[in-house]
Structure 1
């Protein structure tokens, strides 16, 4: 079974929580309370004065609709003197938002206050829940000042003792690449410790659409689509403007299908057939049965449940590598309560901490080098989980690792206007939809490169666009998008628009009906091979036909639309590796004992990453890193 190194402190924290609840309760009839706030490591708890009065709530049940990664409904029940219950109706991603849904309401009820820390890696969900509770308490009669007072109530935290741990292989990061490395090392007979700064495995992979590019060369599907490993290589290499390391690109595409077979051998299920993910350039993406990236981690968790060789250490942040005689032998970390945890490896250390999509300072710094994007400041959201802040890249650079192509930062034109996430995206595949601006006109090849699509979006009014499609993939209205959301729920929440006619849809979108009708008419003509003079798509689009051969254009109502904005999606730059996933230093030499995989690495995808190649990257190079780390000897 999976081990939890910190279970021994659970009872102590529970006792502290109960004590805190009794000590700081605002509602016992007193007019003044002295409340301990969170202490810093090694410091005495400070105190804050909170004033209140008995009977401050209007007893009842209140609801508020808020947005985390998805829309949530928060329901709070109060008596005149205390918060009795908090429920969150949500569609948050299991393993990312779900831990916040479980822990934050419980802690609020425990301390009867709002001084609750956000859950690492689930900031959007955490803040959404807190905002929902605040809104409900305002409905129950609290003033803004009283809400601020509740936010001063925090649970006391006791720092744990320092620890030293050892394993054969140490993996830093429990995302897609890290878990692929950990399972591979376990299969090689090694004891593994995985360090993860959040409370769950998942990383960015669990928030993805789940698409994984791989060519089963010689299969009926590949033959029907006229696809091959060589075609995958050419599109990946040329799609990144030939900036990627061709050796690494070959490793990526040549090992992609064996990665799918490996996942299947672990029990992961995929839908039949392939499709073209946005920016994927060709129908070769395999879609897991489970929504988003949850299928990967259900699979990895099932492995953990039956293999004791892997120990997960959560809520622990890696800070610096241990280097002895020029060899990386471990990592120094900070635990949840501020204690130091040193983890040593008998064999190798795998770095798999992801990119820096949520580090605005790093985004601006490296975008200033290429000046590819008009801006990457805080006005541009990100699809990434909040924990993706470049920690591993900074750690590796500190010991001399070579950083390559850091200015290669990928944006998608598919961000949710409020959160930047990919949730709420109504498309199923490139072939089934078009993009139109706020004037109702197409403006780009929707089957082209991701950077070209997003740069074109920056030039549109208000930097916004609508995805427009018909009902071909939503025949009943209860079908799910690639993120497990039903189109009916998205329409009900106002995140998607639905109309029986294009004229009605244009009115809902606020675009000129004449323009939208002409746009769809022209697009439908291109779907059929062009007009009478043989004119083809004005933007160069060639992907019109679904993989099942059906191509009806956009003409079967009801019709759907959803608003989208640019969002930072992937950072292609990072630490340089070779084909064995060994990290290279600035002199072109291998750093002994250190291996890396996933988005923390650079030089594979070049200036633009093909859609569907990121998850392939995590599996292929995660497995390579796990194997290399297992075989390394000092």
Structure 2
């Protein structure tokens, strides 16, 4: 036990450890088989023995979406007893996999994919081991689905070969054609029908159902707490709210966090994405639970600002909806509505985007890059009667008519929208000039997409909000799907996959997240299932060596001038005139001549006081007097040295 005593992790008893464990953690006997990952502790009681466990599995997977299903399947294949939990009630599990376009990135050229995805990251945080793992996995996604999820090969659709069923998918092949390597990217789906019928999710769900002898599934069961061994830092289990009751579940070999992002958590969206008004296109159950859980055990976080929006227009915007609804479609996916007499403006009535640009999962062109644009608090889509006829013809506002604002004049529309008088009119006047001139100096909108507004009403407006498909931020992971702690090391027994801590830091290609669920889900499941070393025994009754308590000293106590070592004709002076407290100088004399001034101690602000420290002593020697000019910008620091020198001279009788 000497090794653990030296590390001094704990300074208390087993009772104290139980209190640290949180709700439901009690000192007492662990159930049979508990106590360590892979067997009983070699010597003494472990932290796991202080917790009252209600259940025990080899692996617990948090989140039953695509990534969770994949992780559970591979963990079970390794022989692990698996518990797969999801906070959504039965029928709503599936995460964003249930709602997404069912596309998966596939390629036969790993090196090309490494160039492409490095280009998408554009210098943002994407470590080489993660890039290597992902791009190697992209060459295996199709075979994984065939071999491990029983998808018949003849069912696959290679969209690179034929986009006739869904021509818009061509926008993602690749989504950033200007980046090297993108030409080798393909998108596949597990059904040849028009995508959108959740065939991929059904394949995952069917596979999990077929392994019910190895995988237990709990719905309506959110994870609320992770247990972490205080000595080894291994994650050893978790608390689950099963049917409203807290249940402590031991995870002997590993926990996988595949619980998605935080797009349904308003506070997190405001804090990390800077959006106060938004809608959610996917599941309504991604509320950032993984961030809370991983924070408990010291995880590092990455890509917290990265998210994906809808395609295809207005930066992936949608109309306002109730919090219990999905923004399942973008405002305009009809190319015929891109051209016409309309603008998108903010609270001030001014345009802020290139309206006709086809958004790349919400990313819009700004200063030569594709970025998630910063939206005003309130955004309005404004158009005239001519464009309204086209919208009605295309059935563009079906179901949203009640939120439509109509006015006979622009002035009346300004008043109805709360826009400053004349501001919207000025914007429309400028737009009309650009439409007539065939050049948009502000946002370079294509001339053919602009038609001047009608001089007579009515005019129309409807509020737009940023739609979020998913967030990418979460716990940092490495190329082995291990969660990384703030110390840069993997947190033992903790893994992640999917959109919780997704690998996308900047730009995104459609189908990438679904590929990530497969690639890192497999690694996470296998890693979590691997047999682990026994937990270390607790270093109970550690002998403490108390060195510091009240009266042991303070860092603000200054040096006693009398303690400074001096030689003949040397005198020490002190001053409190400076910014940081006491300044001490040692003055050397030759009779009445000052031959040297040495600053022995000072606490002046670095950079600001430094010029005075460097120049005032030599100025005093040169003048043979302490009456010298202060250094501009460092007056107080200069005064401290001057006054300390005068104090030393006074002690010399000068």
Q: Is the 8 A contact 2:86 2:93 kept in 1?
A: no
Tell me the equivalent position of 2:473: 573
CA distance in 2, matches of 1:467, 1:202: 40
Number of the residue aligned with 1:558: none
SS of the aligned residue for 1:580 comes to: coil
State the partner residue of 2:73. 183
Structure 1 residue 234, shift from structure 2 partner: 3.6
- Give the Cα–Cα distance (whole angstroms) in 2 for the partners of residues 467 and 306 of structure 1: 54
What is the alpha-carbon distance in structure 1 between the residues aligned to residue 187 and residue 100 of structure 2? Answer: 11
What's the offset of the Cα at 1:596?
A: 0.7
CA distance in 1, matches of 2:485, 2:88: 29
2:171 alignment partner, SS class: coil
2:262 is aligned with 1:359: no
8 A contact 1:425–1:562 mirrored in 2: no
Residue 372 of structure 2 corresponds to residue 458 of structure 1: no
Q: Alignment partner for residue 303 of structure 1, among 207, 212, 219? A: 207
- Cα distance between partner residues in 2 of 1:595 and 1:430: 43
Q: Secondary structure at the residue paired with 2:259?
A: coil
* 8 Å contact kept, 1:402–1:575: yes
**How far is the alpha carbon of 1:553 from its aligned partner?**
9.6
> Taking structure 1 as reference, are residues 206 and 415 closer, same or farther at Cα in structure 2, changes over 3 Å only?
farther
- The normalised TM-score by structure 1 is 0.53
Q: Which secondary structure state, in structure 2, belongs to the residue aligned with residue 361 of structure 1? A: helix
Q: Indicate if the aligned counterparts of 2:237 and 2:248 stay in contact, CA closer than 8 A.
A: no
Superposed displacement of residue 426, structure 1: 6.5
TM-score, normalised to structure 2, is: 0.51
Q: CA deviation at 1:582?
A: 0.7
- Given that 2:106 and 2:188 are in contact with CA atoms closer than 8 Å, whether structure 1 keeps it comes out as no
Question: Using a 3 Å threshold, how does the CA distance of structure 1 residues 607 and 455 change in structure 2: closer, same or farther?
Answer: closer
CA distance in 2, matches of 1:188, 1:466: 58
Answer with 426-435 or 580-589: which moved more. Answer: 426-435
Q: Deviations over 1:214-256 (max 9, x none)?
A: 243379xxxxxxx942453244222xx5233343234323312
Structure 1: distance between partners of 2:119 and 2:445: 16
How far is the alpha carbon of 1:584 from its aligned partner?
Answer: 1.3
How big is each residue's C-alpha offset from its partner over 1:543-598, in whole Å with a ceiling of 9 and x where there is no partner?
xxxxxxxxx9999xxxxx99742134433321111100111111111111111112
1:214 is aligned to 105
Residues 1:599 and 2:503 aligned together = no
Query: Is 1:281 the counterpart of 2:176 in the alignment?
Result: yes
Q: How large is the Cα RMSD of the aligned pairs? A: 5.3
Task: Describe the superposition over 1:155-204 as per-residue Cα deviations: whole angstroms up to 9, x where unpaired.
Answer: xxxxxxx9833333211111221112112223334332101111136454
1:263 counterpart (140, 145, 150) = 145
2:292 aligns with one of 384, 394, 409: 394
SS of the aligned residue for 1:464 comes to strand
Q: Could you tell me which residue of structure 2 aligns to residue 418 of structure 1?
A: 321
Gap change, CA 1:585 and 1:424, over 3 Å in 2:
closer
**Shift, 1:334, TM fit:** 1.5
Q: How far apart, CA to CA, are the structure 2 residues paired with 1:429 and 1:206?
A: 25
Q: SS at the partner of 1:168?
A: strand
For the residue of structure 2 that corresponds to 1:214, the secondary structure is: strand
Q: What is the CA–CA distance in structure 1 between the aligned matches of 2:383 and 2:58, rounded to whole Å?
A: 49
In structure 2, C-alpha distance between the alignment counterparts of 1:279 and 1:570, rounded to whole Å: 20
Please give the per-residue CA displacement for 1:64-118, whole angstroms capped at 9, x wherever unaligned.
xxxxxxxxxxxxxxxxxxxxxxxxxxxxxxxxxxxxxxxxxxxxxxxxxxxxxxx
Contact 1:409 1:570 in 2 (8 A): yes
CA distance in 2, matches of 1:613, 1:562: 32
Question: Is 1:251 matched with 2:133?
Answer: yes
* Count of matched residue pairs: 414
Secondary structure at 1:458's aligned position in 2?
coil
CA distance in 1 between partners of 2:295 and 2:402 (Å): 42
Find the aligned partners of 1:440 and 1:400 in 2 and give their Cα distance.
44
The structure with more radius of gyration: 2
| Residues 1:406 and 1:493: Cα distance change in structure 2 (over 3 Å) | closer
Task: Work out which of the residue numbers 229, 232, 254 in structure 1 matches 2:116.
Answer: 232
